[in-house]
Structure 1
Amino acid sequence: MTECTLALAQIESSCLDQRGNLEKMIAYARRAAEAGAAILCFPEGALTGYSTERAREFALSLDSTPCLRIAALARELGLLIAVGLLERAPDGRVFITQMLCRPDGIRRFYRKTHLGGKEAGWISAGDRLPVFETAQGVIGMAVCYDTHYPALVETLSLKGAELVLAPFASPEDSLRRETWMKYLPARAYDNRVYLGCCNLVGGNGIGGHFSGGTVLFDPDGEVVCENFSQEETLLTARISPALLKAYREGEPSVLPYRYFPAGRRTALYQ
């Protein structure tokens, strides 16, 4: 991983105003670029708005004009942009997808693999856990409910991920920070990854409401920066390759500098 600035956007997205969502994201991307960010992550479903039972109604093709506009923006700004959307696949299925747009024009995609209870029946689950090579380092993705599965983030780490982006569409909840702090620091610490989380905030235009929450954890599970206000915001922070190197290549006999996934005994985990 190279030393770089990560930007995490906490925004409100309406299912009824996808053009407005796009314009807002363009403005946030320009702000991130002006702040010197190399990577920008938007929340789950940010481009289309997030819905379960009406997901098919609001879903977009990956080759739709809004998706291609974000890809063009990444090239224009020299910014790596991860954007969430409800995706309508060519076979008609709907996925919760995070699209990664690289500055060189290449696009990659992750489809949420673990669906929440309200999503099952309306949305299809992805079946791959890819990692993505970028100029800044290797990036993995875990979308919202995915983060509750320790093996998912461990798998990404073992595949080389140094930064895991975790976009959320978590409902309005006054205990959002308390909930996240119960388990997300462990995902970062156990797997020696940076973990960047950002949640939708406000309403989706059709009755859904989201609680916000933006936080970056370092490979020791410590909070680098956070914002749990109920306002739209752009959070930026530096990512240190030295910290990753210390934890992943340090002396195995010294607990604080141990890369725990390397010591797995997978034959026992059956």
Structure 2
Amino acid sequence: MMPLTIAAAQSISIAGDLAANIAWHQRFMQVAAEQSVQLLVFPELSLTGYERGLAVELAIAPEDALLQPLRDFAQEIGVTTVVGMPIRLSENSPVLMGALILGTDGSLGVYSKQHLHPGEEVAFAPGFGGSTLTIGGDTVALAVCADFSHASHAAAAAQQGADLYAAGVLITENGYAPDTALLQGYSVTHSMTVLMANHGGATGGWESAGRSAIWASDGSLIAAAPGTGSLLVVAQRNADGWAGHVVAVAEA
């Protein structure tokens, strides 16, 4: 297999402050580039925080100029980056929970959360998923939080030939054990590497558990954040297999 370096960005979002969150995303992206990361995945709704009450106000078209600095930076540093944002696919369409793929060639991919968590329907409509993406020789399927609670979602990813299942999430302490058991189980069942990027702190009135993690296709843990905080969880694959480490991310 080709060498591969992936990372989960365990970022902390400032509620509704897009300018500050974009700057913070760029800092994570810079640190990821320094670690030779090829694919960087942020948590669910990372650019706004998990703020259901602000979603309608903040939702944008994926191609909105607001995201151009992040798109340009992903291209400049050569890191494919997946960010979370409330989106509308057209002016009058419902708000979706988006995961936007900022390509190193300037491209933009759109994934929208298919399976809503109870309570999210007050602000969001179910989305449509999205295509897999290719990183080097690997095929990547995305998920946004409650998507992975449906076994059919991970199974569909495997059927599409995914080598990596990457989920941006918000998971609290109470949900952490059962949710990570599911994700680890998918790695074994479907022989996929599984990445989980969780929020690094409180958001939308929820206390995130942090502890973002990456599992190899045999279920073994490659790397995990020890708790909450602004951290980058990195996994590197070479001819000898996987190795992982965690990097603290501080303001520049």
**TM-score, scaled to structure 2:** 0.88
Aligned partners of 2:238 and 2:113: how far apart in 1? Answer: 28
Partner of 2:150: 149
Aligned partners of 1:103 and 1:243: how far apart in 2? Answer: 25
Asked if 2 retains the 8 angstrom alpha-carbon contact of 1:18 and 1:49, the reply is: no
Aligned partners of 1:92 and 1:13: how far apart in 2? Answer: 26
Structure 2 counterpart of 1:226, from 199, 224, 227:
224
Partner of 1:193: 192
Aligned partners of 1:66 and 1:136: how far apart in 2? Answer: 31
Structure exhibiting the larger radius of gyration computed from Cα positions: 1
Gaps of 5+ in 1: 245-270
Aligned partners of 1:54 and 1:64: how far apart in 2? Answer: 18
Percent identity between matched residues is 22
Partner of 2:250: none
Report how many residues are paired: 241
Partner of 1:112: 113
Partner of 1:5: 5
Deviation readout 1:187-215 (Å, 9 max, x if unpaired): 111111111001112233x6443222210
Partner of 1:96: 97
Partner of 2:168: 167
Change (3 A) 1:92 1:127: closer
Gaps of 5+ in 2: 243-252
Asked if 1 retains the 8 angstrom alpha-carbon contact of 2:4 and 2:136, the reply is: no
Aligned-pair CA distance for 1:239: 3.2
**TM-score, scaled to structure 1:** 0.82
Asked if 2 retains the 8 angstrom alpha-carbon contact of 1:129 and 1:156, the reply is: no
Amino acid at match of 2:112: R
Aligned partners of 2:98 and 2:237: how far apart in 1? Answer: 25
Amino acid at match of 1:11: S
Aligned residues: CA RMSD: 2.1
Amino acid at match of 1:26: Q
Alignment partner of 1:211: what SS? coil
Amino acid at match of 1:156: A
Structure 2 counterpart of 1:216, from 214, 217, 225:
214
Partner of 1:48: 48
Alignment partner of 1:89: what SS? coil
Structure 2 counterpart of 1:237, from 228, 235, 238:
235
After TM superposition, what 4+ stretches of structure 1 lie above 3 angstroms from structure 2? Answer: 206-209, 239-244
Amino acid at match of 1:125: P
Asked if 2 retains the 8 angstrom alpha-carbon contact of 1:201 and 1:209, the reply is: no
Alignment partner of 1:142: what SS? strand
